[in-house]
Chain A
Amino acid sequence: MSIDVAQSAQQAGHAIRAIYVRELSAYFLTPLAYVFMAIFLISLGAFTFEIGRFFDTNQADLSPFFLFHPWLYLVFLPAIAMRLWADEARGGTLELLMSLPAPAWALVLGKFLAAWTVAGAALALTAPMWISVNWLGAPDNAAIALGYLMSFLMAGAYLSIACALSAAAGNQVVAFVLSVAVGFLFTAAGLPVVGGALGPGLADALASFSLLSHFEAAQRGVLELRSLFFYLGFIGLWLTLNTIWVSARKGG
C-alpha cells in the first residue's frame, strides 16, 4: 500500500515538473510572456509615476508603486492564464493530457506554477524601482521585501481564479471576462465605498474576503499572518475548483 502511495506521489511529481516545463516553454517560446511583461512594466511605471506621483511624495518608499498592483493584476493576470485550459480544450490536447498517468491536481498545479513564475518574473523585473529608492534615500527594506512577498502571493490569488475559470469556461475570451469580473468582486469587496454602503458589520465580513484588504497591511509594512494564510488558502481553494472542473470533463 505504502509503495503504491510513494509511486503515485513520484508519478505526480514527474507530471508537475513536465507540465511546468512545457507551459513555461509555451510562454517563452511565443511572444506571450514578453508582451505581457513589457506592457505590465510600462503600465506599472506609468501608474506609479503619473498617477501615484512617486516623486511628489518626497518619501523613500514604494507605497505609490504597490498601490496599483491589485488593479493591474486584475486585468493582466487573466490575460496570461486564460489560455491554460481553454487552449487544451480547443486544440484537443486535453484528451492527450488526461490519458497520461498523472492525477488532474498535478496537471493543475504544474500549469498554475508556470503562470505564477511568469508573474513572478514580471515582478522581479521591477527590482530597479527598489534599487532607485535605496539610491534616493533610506527606505525600510524589510517593509519593501514584505510588499513584494505579499504582492507575489496576491498575484497567485488572481492567477488561481483565472486558471480555474479557464478550465470551467473552455473558451479564452469567456475565461478572461469571467476572471476579470470575479477578480473585481474579490478586489472591490475591500473598497471603502462598498463598505460604506453596507454598514460596518457586513463591510468587515466582506472585506475579510478581499484581496485588496489583505494587501493593505503589507503596504504599511505590517506582516499579518492571517493575510498570508488567506492568500495561500484562497489559492488552494481555486486550484481545488480548477481540479474539479478539469476532472468534470471526464464525465463527457
Chain B
Amino acid sequence: MQALKVSGLSKSFGGREAVRAVSFAVSTGQAVAFLGPNGAGKSTTLRMIAGFLEPDAGEAEIAGASIITARSAAQRSLGYLAEGAPLYLDLSVRAFLGFLARTHGLSAAATKDAIARVAQDAGIAEVMGARIETLSKGYRRRVALAGALVHDPAVLVLDEPTDGLDPNQKVAMRSLIRRMAETKAILISTHQLDEVEAMCSRVVLIDRGIIVTDTTRTELAARTPGGRLEDAFHALTQMERAA
C-alpha cells in the first residue's frame, strides 16, 4: 500500500525553480532515501509534503489524504522531523512531547502511554524531566524524533535525522529507524551515503529540483563498474550538471 504518494510537486522562489514536478511513492514497510546534494530541493520537497510550504503545482497524499485539500487529515498520519530538529527549548522533554500529543488529540491516558513508548524507543527515558535547552545535540535530535513518533503516525518524513549525532548515537538512531520501517512508510532526506546504505532499500535521487533516478539501492550501485553507491551518486549528479 502506498502510504505516501507525491505527484508533480513544484515550487519556485522568486522565479527560481527549486523543485520541478517531483513524483514518487513510498509504501508501508519501506524506508526510502531521498538523496541529493546540498541545495538539490530535498528540504523544500519535504516541507511541501509536511504542509509547511504551499506547492505551486502538484500534491502529496499521506495515507490517502491530500495535504492540499485535507491538510489536517493528512497531517494526522504524518510524523515530521524538520531540518535542524526545531524544539521548544524552554520546555521539559515530557512537556514538549505532551504538547505534541495533545495537539494530535490524544487523551490524557493515551498521552501518558505514548510518551512512555517513545521515551523508550528514542532512548530518552533518562532525560524526560530535563529542560530541552540543557540537553546535548544528540539528545535534542532524539527528542525531536520522539516528537515525530508520539502519535504513532503511518508515515514518517525525516530531514537529516542523524545530523550532528556521534557514531554511537547514529547506530542507535539507524537501528530505531530500521525497526520503524517494518510497520511504517519512511522517507529519509539525506546527503550522506552511509546513511542510505544503513537504512534504506530504495533511493530517490534529486538534483537541482528534478528527480534523477528512483530505484533500489543495489541497482543504483550496480550502475557503476565498482558497484559503489558513491560513484553512482557522483555520476548522476554531475551528469545532471553537465546537462
**Contact indicator per residue, chain A 62-98, by CB within 8 Å of chain B (1) or not (0):** 0000000000000000000000000000011111101
B52 partner, pick from A22, A25, A98, A101, beta carbons under 8 A: A98
B88 in the interface (beta carbon within 8 A): yes
Q: Tell whether, in the assembled complex, residue B100 and residue A91 are in contact, meaning their CB atoms are under 8 Å apart.
A: no
| Listed stretches A11-19, A36-44, A151-159, A216-224; interface member | A11-19
Taking CB atoms, residues of chain A closer than 8 Å to B82 are 92, 95-96, 99
User: What's the minimum C-beta distance from A106 to chain B, rounded to whole angstroms?
Assistant: 9
Closest A residue to B88 by beta carbon equals A93
Count contacts between A and B, CB distance < 8 Å.
89
Question: In this assembly, does A122 line the interface, its C-beta being within 8 Å of a C-beta of chain B?
Answer: no
Say yes or no: A99 contacts B103, CB within 8 Å.
no
Q: Is the CB of B100 within 8 A of A99?
A: no
A30 within 8 A of B: yes
Interface SS majority for chain B: mixed
By beta carbon, the residue of chain A nearest B144 is A96
Q: List, in ascending order, chain B residues with CB within 8 A of A30's CB.
A: 90
- Chain B residues near A92 (CB-CB < 8 A): 82-84, 86
A196 interface hit (Cβ, 8 Å): no
B129 to chain A, nearest CB (A): 13
**Which secondary structure characterizes the binding site on chain A?**
helix
B75 touches A101 (CB 8 A): yes
Chain A residues within an 8 Å CB radius of B47: 95
Q: Beta-carbon contacts of B8-29 to A below 8 Å, as 1s and 0s? A: 0001010000000000000000
Are A22 and B86 in contact (CB-based, < 8 A)? Answer: no
**CB pair B52 A14 closer than 8 Å:** no
Q: How far is the CA of A2 from the CA of B232 in the complex (A)?
A: 52
Query: In the bound complex, do residue B51 and residue A17 qualify as a contact, i.e. CB atoms below 8 Å apart?
Result: no
Are B105's CB and A11's CB within 8 A?
yes
Which of chain B's residues has its CB closest to A29's CB?
B90
- Would A11 and B72 count as touching, CB distance under 8 A? yes
Q: Provide the residues of chain B in CB contact with A226, threshold 8 Å.
A: none
Cα distance, A21 to B80, chains bound together (Å): 22
How far is A103 from B73 in the complex, measured between Cα atoms in Å?
11
Q: Which of A15, A17, A25, A100 contacts B91 (CB 8 A)?
A: A25
Partner of B11, one of A15, A19, A100, A252: A252
Residue A251 at the chain B interface, CB threshold 8 Å: yes
Asked if B72 contacts A26 (CB within 8 A), the reply is no
Taking CB atoms and an 8 Å cut-off, the chain B residues in 40-83 that contact chain A are 44, 47, 50-54, 71-76, 78, 80, 82-83
B217 within 8 A of A: no
What is the 8 Å Cβ interface bit string for chain A, positions 94-131, against chain B (1 contact, 0 not)? 11101111110000000000000000000000000000
Question: How near does chain B come to A140, taking the closest CB pair, in angstroms?
Answer: 44
Task: Provide the residues of chain A in CB contact with B234, threshold 8 Å.
Answer: none
Does A8 make an interface contact (CB < 8 A)? yes
CA distance A17 to B103 in the complex (A): 8
User: Would A99 and B102 count as touching, CB distance under 8 A?
Assistant: no
Do B91 and A99 touch (CB < 8 A)? Answer: no
17 pairs of residues in contact across A and B, judged by CB atoms under 8 Å: A18-B103, A19-B103, A21-B99, A22-B99, A25-B90, A29-B90, A92-B83, A95-B47, A95-B83, A98-B52, A99-B50, A99-B82, A100-B103, A101-B76, A102-B72, A250-B52, A252-B11
16 other contacts beyond A29-B90, A92-B84, A99-B80, with CB at 8 A cut-off? A11-B72, A19-B103, A22-B88, A26-B88, A92-B82, A92-B83, A92-B86, A95-B47, A95-B83, A95-B86, A96-B147, A98-B52, A99-B50, A99-B82, A250-B53, A252-B53
**B contacts, CB < 8 Å to A:** 11, 13, 44, 47, 50-54, 71-76, 78, 80, 82-84, 86-91, 95, 99-100, 102-105, 147
**Interface residues, chain A, CB within 8 Å of chain B?**
8, 10-11, 14-15, 17-19, 21-22, 25-26, 29-30, 91-96, 98-103, 250-252
